[in-house]
Structure formats: C-alpha cells, structure tokens
Structure 1
Amino acid sequence: MTLNTHDTVSLDLFPTIQLPEGFKTDTEVLDTLERQTSQRSEVSRPVQDATNSQSPDTALEPTQAQASIREKPAGKKYTYKLPWPPAMSDLLSNVFFAGFLLIVGGACLAFQAGCNGTLGGTTGRSFAAIFSFGSGSICCLLYFLIDVYAVRSETAPNAKDMVSVPWWGFLGGILGTYYVIVNILTVPKLGAGVVLSVFVCSQIIFACIIDHFALVGVPQRTFTLWRGLGVIGLVGSVAVITKF
C-alpha cells in the first residue's frame, strides 16, 4: 500500500490509529499510517518520524502513534495536504522577493494616485473615495478567505483576539481613507509626481520618528546620523521635483 501526500484516508481501515495532537504537516500522519499498518511503502515526499515525547514507562503500543496523541473517531475521512504554498514569512526572508514586492507596491501607489484623481474628476470626489475603498475591501475579503480557508496559513480571529488589540490598532483604515481622499483632491491640480514625492518624504520622516520612539508597536531603531543625511537628501529631491 502506497500513501500519497494528497490521498483521502478512511479511518475505518485503521480502527486503532491515533494521530498526533496539534500536528502541523501531513508527513507525520503519513509516517504514522505507514508504521502502524506495517506496510513497506514509499511516500512521494520524505517523511519525518513523529517525535516520541513520552517516557519509557508510559510508552504506547506499536499500533499507537508516539508523542502526545488523541484518538480520532472511526468512520470519518480526513484529507491531509502538504503546506503549499510556503508560508509568507519564508518567502519574505528572500531579499529579492521582498524587494520585488516593495517595488511593485510603490508602482501601485503611483498608479493609484492617477486613477483616483481621474475617477474623482469624472464621477465626483466622494464617489471616487467610496469606490476606491469598496473595491479595495472586496480584494481584502478575497485575500482573507484564501489565506484562512484555502492556504490556511492564518486562523480567523476570535473575540478574545479582537479585544486584545490596542485601540490604535484599528486606526489604519481611517488613516488610509485620509490618504485616498487627499490623493483625489490634490493629484488633478498638482500632478502625481509632486503629490507622491511629498507623501513619500512625509512618510519617511515620520517613519524615522516612529522607529526611534518605538511607537504603535514597531521595533525600536535609533535615528542615526546616516538616517538624518538620508532624510536631508530626500527633502532636497522633493524640492527639485516640486520646482521642476
């Protein structure tokens, strides 16, 4: 019998099986099934033995899974899938991938300013703000559903999680609303280059202040001389862009 990584296994065939509680990958489950049925089979991906956290005097029978276990009711089917795609934290550890995301994000902001300004000039500024956040909310909802229920890299928050968030943690949407409305108001008159350069300059200055004083939950990073020189150069660049 060969178990594949995406097979659905009926526990009716294995009434004595007990699965590790809190397992994170299906490789442990496949290894348990292989070992308990005493079948020689090759799994399509390498498997790791379940960690045996029990002392010798409390060791389980060979037909039981080792480590902390709980019995699954027979008669139900469980589908185990390998963790794919990889966790976002693993992808962001690649400096090239993270840099690519940042570059695309900056390009999106530049195009967003022009799109919102054009929409506001045609349909009205208030409608443009509503449409911008409405379409963005739909995209965020799709991302939430995929992340929680398809990829399952996150879990849906409960009431306890929501209560534990500090009050300023819920201000992001309001601050984003101000950003979008100001874009809609100023881009048609000043142009995307001037508006975004001033925005970026202001963002970096206040980001350095937030880092230095560790505000709103960010890690503390001291404002150094080199950072100060960078800010001065940025202000000069914004002045040139605004002038010409």
Structure 2
Amino acid sequence: MIFLYGIALLAGIATAMQPGQSTQLAKSFGEPFAAGLVSMLVGTATMLVIGLATGRLHLPSLQQAGAAPWWAWGGGVLGAGVILAQLFVAQRIGAASFLGLLVTAGVVTSITLDHFGLEGFATHPASLARLVGGGLMIAGVALVALF
C-alpha cells in the first residue's frame, strides 16, 4: 500500500511540473494548440510503449467499448481541457496558484463523487472531517493565491 502512495506522490510532482513544460513547449513552438497536441501525442505514445512493454495492453472488443457508460468517454476531453488550462492559465497565475486550484478543486469534487458514489467510485460519506479538510484546502489555496 505504501508503494501506491509513493506513486500518487510522484503523480503530484508530475502534475506540478507539467504546466511549466507544456507552456515552455508552446513558447518554443509559438503555438499553444500545437504544443498541446504534441503533449497528448507523446502521452499516447508513452502509454502505448508501457502497455506493450508490460504486456498489459489489450484493446477492447466492440462489445466492451459499447458497454462503457456514455460519460466514461469524456476522460480524453477532460485531459485536453487540463492541458489547455496549463497552456493558457498556469504561466499567468503562477505554478503554486494553478496547482493549488487544480488540486483543491479536485479534492472538493472528489468528496462529492465519493459521497454519492458517482462515476463508479465506492460510496464514502462526506463526513464533517472531510468537509472541514476540503474547506481548509480552499482556505490554503486562497492564502497561496493572495500572497
């Protein structure tokens, strides 16, 4: 289990670094949309290589693809939205404010998803402690953004 928390920490570090890398690519290209497209293509290629190297890449059948809930297909659109936000917002508001808002919005949304068991998540009630934690994150990101 500690290993999984370590992977989550590394993903957090990557999330903090990715906006700077994406915006630098956009500056080098002189075109944010091209940089976003290249970023997603590199990500796709990375997933392909890792999937093939580990033997865990198995394309779904048409029946499996058809059985997926309609909303599950939006993940790629949301990923593109995150990259676009990195390209157009992160450099303007700063890394700490951008990531603070990104993570805090994610945690607050996750409390809602967990509470109602939405998008396939197991139900975890929005206890007072979880709500206070979300509120503290909002207060913390406000302090980071203001100072």
**What TM-score range do you get, normalising by the shorter chain?**
over 0.9
1:169 aligns with 2:56: no
What is residue 224 of structure 1 aligned with on the other side? 127
Q: CA deviation at 1:147?
A: 3.5
What is residue 195 of structure 1 aligned with on the other side? 98
Q: CA deviation at 1:203?
A: 0.5
Q: CA deviation at 1:144?
A: 2.2
**Pairing partner for 1:134 from 23, 41, 56:** 41
Taking the aligned partners of 2:53 and 2:121, their CA distance within structure 1 comes to: 27
1:99-114, aligned counterparts within 5 Å? 99-114=5-20
**Pairing partner for 1:120 from 23, 26, 31:** 26
Taking the aligned partners of 2:90 and 2:27, their CA distance within structure 1 comes to: 10
Q: Are 1:121 and 1:188, in contact at CA under 8 Å, matched by a contact in 2?
A: no
Q: CA deviation at 1:220?
A: 1.0
The structure whose RCO (Cα within 8 Å, separation 6+) is larger is 2
1:1-244, aligned counterparts within 5 Å? 95-123=1-29, 124-148=31-55, 155-244=58-147
Taking the aligned partners of 1:219 and 1:169, their CA distance within structure 2 comes to: 16
Look at both structures and tell me which one has the larger radius of gyration over its CA atoms.
1
**Number of equivalenced pairs:** 146
- Aligned partner letter, 2:41: G
Secondary structure class of the residue paired with 1:171: helix
Give the RMSD, CA atoms, in angstroms: 1.4
Secondary structure class of the residue paired with 2:81: helix
Normalized per residue, the structure richer in strand is: 1
Q: What is the percentage of aligned positions where both structures have the same residue?
A: 24
TM score, norm. by length of structure 1: 0.57
Q: CA deviation at 1:222?
A: 0.7
- Aligned partner letter, 2:44: S
Taking the aligned partners of 2:112 and 2:4, their CA distance within structure 1 comes to: 23
Taking the aligned partners of 2:107 and 2:66, their CA distance within structure 1 comes to: 31
Q: Deviations over 1:212-242 (max 9, x none)?
A: 1111111111100000110111011101110
Taking the aligned partners of 1:155 and 1:175, their CA distance within structure 2 comes to: 23
